[in-house]
Amino acid sequence: MEGPYRDLGAGFARLTGVEGARRGPSRITHVEDALLELVRNARDAGATRIYVASSLKGRRYRTLTVIDDGHGIPESHRDLILEPGVTTRHLNPVIEPGDPSVPTHGAGLSLYQIKGLSLGTRVLSTSSPTSIQATFDTSAIPERTLQSATRPSKSNIRATLERFTETTNAQSPRLHSYYGPPARILATLLDHRIIQRPRDSAGLRNTALGLGLEVSVRSVQRVLRGEVRPVEGVSAGGSAGRFRGRRAGGGLERGPVLELGEEESARIADILKEAARAGYMEVEELRLESRPGEISLRARVYEPEEEYE
């Protein structure tokens, strides 16, 4: 009689029959659900750092690349882990930290479902670091909300990763997660020494493409020059700094009014836009206002959804 699993070697097994169905992943209906399963797999493989690169093409095709420093995957099992019922936790099911409502599951069991729902799911790097990429047609597998760092949400990709990290760390504070566009994730991998700095931009671009980070030659050159800053951890917290005028007698300090002409205002706007683009952002709704003793500057900064070159 066949048992509940079939040994596939290297610690992997294929669950069969009732056992395979019992430990199957939750139903994936949105891109954020798929991300949650991908980062669970990374964490269950012993990862302490998870990097999620996200890009959108044609306002429709979302690509998620999950890179981690976990135990990795044997090269012989690169394609096998995308088959149904394959897991490394057949004898020791995973209990979701801090959430007893989630049934025990087997690490890796969601990959087959993600592969079936996506336009393509690939293991790009099996170790040092591990990289798995999936691309979704959001007209078929939608996103729950807009993916914008300047428009707070409790259910978008970033919020999903942040909630997952906080829940995991509530039980065992050791997981660090990072989210951003491919070029900034590349800069973060270099900063954290997850990948080595190559001699030239061609070498770095080849490394990036090998991990699923689709970046242009120009973007790679900017990363090497330090013009693209690394991302902070998703649970880093903190708020943007605010400029406050000095106070005298309970009010703003008085002083002369410095009027800015059109040429000076345009130059300030150009500087701000150049600085924003260095961080893969854009500036709009810029307002300059002269007051006694101070100049007030207000601008809306946002991250474009399309891939930035």
Model pLDDT, residue 105 = 47
Count: domains in the chain: 2
Q: Do 168 and 262 sit in the same domain of this protein? A: no
The verdict on residue 151 lying in a domain is yes
Q: Do 48 and 195 sit in the same domain of this protein? A: yes
Model pLDDT, residue 283 = 78
Read off the tokens for 84. 């149904």
What CATH code is carried by the domain that includes residue 87?
A: 3.30.565
At 228-284, the pLDDT tens digits run 999 999 974 433 333 333 444 444 445 677 777 777 778 888 888 888 777 767 777
Model pLDDT, residue 255 = 63
Model pLDDT, residue 98 = 59
Model pLDDT, residue 4 = 64
Any bridge partners for residue 13, and if so which? 7, 87
Torsion angles phi and psi, residue 37, rounded to 5: -70, -40
Is there a contact between 53 and 65 (Cβ–Cβ < 8 Å)? yes
The verdict on residue 149 lying in a domain is yes
Q: Which residues of the chain have pLDDT under 50?
A: 1, 18, 90-91, 104-107, 236-253, 308-309
The verdict on residue 144 lying in a domain is yes
Closest to 52 measured CA to CA, from 80, 29, 40, 193 = 40
Domain span at residue 160 reads 5-224
Q: Do 90 and 52 sit in the same domain of this protein? A: yes
Query: pTM above 0.75?
Result: no
Q: Do 14 and 122 sit in the same domain of this protein? A: yes
The verdict on residue 10 lying in a domain is yes
